[in-house]
Amino acid sequence: MECFFNTAGPNIPEDNYTIDPLTRFDLDDILTLIRQKRYFVFHAPHQTGKTSCLLALRDYLNAKGDYICVYANVEGGQASRNNVENVIVSTIDTIVREARLIIKDIDMRAIRDVIQREGIDSRLSSFLSRLSESLPKPLILFLDEIDALVGDSLVSVLRQIRAGYANRPKSFPSSIVLCGVRDVRDYRIVQSNQDIITGGSAFNIKAESLRLGNFSKEEIHELYMQHTRETGQVFEEECFPMIWEATEGQPWLVNALGQEVTYEMKENRDRSVRITPEMIYRAQEQIIYRRDTHIDILIDKLKEPRVKRVIEALLFQRNNPTAWSIPRDDIEYVIDYGLLTKEIGKDLRISNSIYREIINAEFAR
């Protein structure tokens, strides 16, 4: 069975055309932070490849043998909102489940069970402490989708991590990476008593914030050439400037265009058919028209007041952002979500032509 372009979930190299995730960020920088026992943030817009990168880094670190690295997606706690106990229990259970895949000779559930009488505001911290103490090597912990948690629950998770920080590496994870859409500095956490806590104050041990970028032109070309090498189907070279303009390397869009033009357009399943620029254009329009989940998330985000204010200023005022009566944090927030891009020496703009068409259509209503 031939590979395909991936538009849902982490890449599986055996099934999906894949750019090596370890080449998509500065591996040396991350390894340095880990060696220095730092806690840091790794963030990027939705469907950019964060999870694929974290899983590849987990496997790389475990193969090197200097650490024990565990990945855990804590998004499941989102449904419990401000119910701190449910979120802490869910987070611990998730770490236990994922750790059992990596650590075979230690009973993770026994460690979890022994801390059940701990107060809920120290239970996660106590669990991580006992887990770290039980391991023969320093523990590295990746917490994915951390910004899916909200309110009291997110504050509790961040503060319990901060509480154990001084005990690393023997009695707490040597390094923790928080991964999400936003930088922790932009967490504005509304607690159940309506107090507002900023992420920076709840997690003031952050050493760095690393942002995962889009594919380069060369990476787009390589991804599509993997399809050509496997199937023999040729993309005319004139397609690639169109793909770049449409997506500017946004990974989901790049893969969605590839999947649309090679598979969803059924006539092109005949691999003797050459892919032309006109086909790329039709694929782009079909993706916009069909409103896949990625596009729906984008449209929904435009309704958020912070986002709407920034986009309206860009579309209708068209002046320098420094002259807008909009907090700089709001502009950074929209950039973090991948809707806008700001390059050194250039004006702020919508990130790619697909987003531009969608955004213009939504604001023209």
Q: Domain spanning 295-363: which CATH class is it, in words?
A: mainly alpha
Torsion-angle region of 289 (φ positive above 0: left; ψ -120 to 50: alpha; else: beta) = alpha
DSSP 77: G
CATH 3.40.50.300 assigned to domain 21-211? The reply is yes
Q: Which of 152, 153, 149, 159 is nearest to 194 (CA)?
A: 152
pLDDT tens, per residue, the chain with 365 residues: 889 999 998 999 999 999 999 999 999 999 999 999 999 999 999 899 999 999 999 999 999 999 999 999 999 988 887 899 999 999 999 999 999 999 988 888 899 999 988 999 999 999 999 999 999 999 999 999 998 888 888 889 999 999 999 999 999 999 999 999 887 666 655 455 555 555 555 567 777 889 999 999 999 999 999 999 999 999 999 999 999 999 999 999 999 999 999 999 999 999 999 999 999 999 999 999 988 889 999 999 999 999 999 999 998 876 666 667 888 888 988 998 999 998 887 888 999 999 999 999 998 87
* Distance, CA of 56 to CA of 69 (rounded, Å): 11
**Which residues are 340's β-sheet partners?**
350
Alpha-carbon distance of 168 to 160, in angstroms, equals 13
- Helix 353-363 × helix 293-301 angle, to 10°: 50
Beta carbons within 8 Å of 25's beta carbon, 6+ residues apart:
42, 53, 210, 212, 213
Residue 60, number of CB atoms within 10 A of its CB: 15
Strand 340-341 vs strand 349-350: parallel, antiparallel, or unpaired? antiparallel
Structure confidence at residue 291 (pLDDT)? 87
